[in-house]
Amino acid sequence: MILMCGPAGSGKSTYARGLERDGYVLLSFDDEAWQRGHRDHPVPEDAMQSIHEHLQNRLTELVTSGARVVVDTSFWSKSSRDRYRDLLAPLGVTPTIYYLDTPTGVLLERIGARTNAGPNDVHVALEQAHAYINGFQIPTPDEGPLHVIRYPDA
């Protein structure tokens, strides 16, 4: 069970798709938001909550059935990571956080190249991108299993 973690543009979705090719079931916040018609960031709060509820319900079903799962969302705050850990603890599952450590310049370059062509290409305004980066809470080993993936591998 893997929680992909990193700011917009860090490479989470690309990395998660590689894990999917290796047999993981991919649950993607951006894919679900796109399917629901959301084309702007940030997604409205009520929609964000609904999407996370959907992902958590699906995650519980998959983990209970023995599937290997990767959840692709920013997990920008410790509390957001804690919510998923708390959900999984009664099931006897401890997720590993895969944190994509990507330099700010690369994040901004990737975000700036987005064209709204799909769920992993949603345009983010420069001001919003800076807010995402500045507000991001980097995970630490005291949160549990942590795997850091550094640029250029991210």
- pLDDT digit string (tens) for the chain, length 154 residues: 999 999 999 999 999 999 999 999 999 999 999 999 999 888 999 999 999 999 999 999 999 999 999 999 999 999 999 999 999 999 999 999 999 999 999 999 999 999 989 998 998 888 999 999 999 999 999 999 999 999 988 7
68 alpha-carbon distance from chain centroid:
16
Rounded to a whole number of angstroms, the CA Rg of the chain reads 15
Domain that holds residue 58: 2-150
Do the beta carbons of residue 30 and residue 72 sit within 8 Å?
A: yes
Closest Cα to residue 71, out of 39, 24, 110, 107?
A: 24
The CATH number of whichever domain residue 121 belongs to comes to 3.40.50.300
Total Cβ atoms within 10 A of residue 13:
23
The whole model's pTM is what?
Answer: 0.93
pLDDT of residue 153: 84
Number of folded domains that form the chain: 1
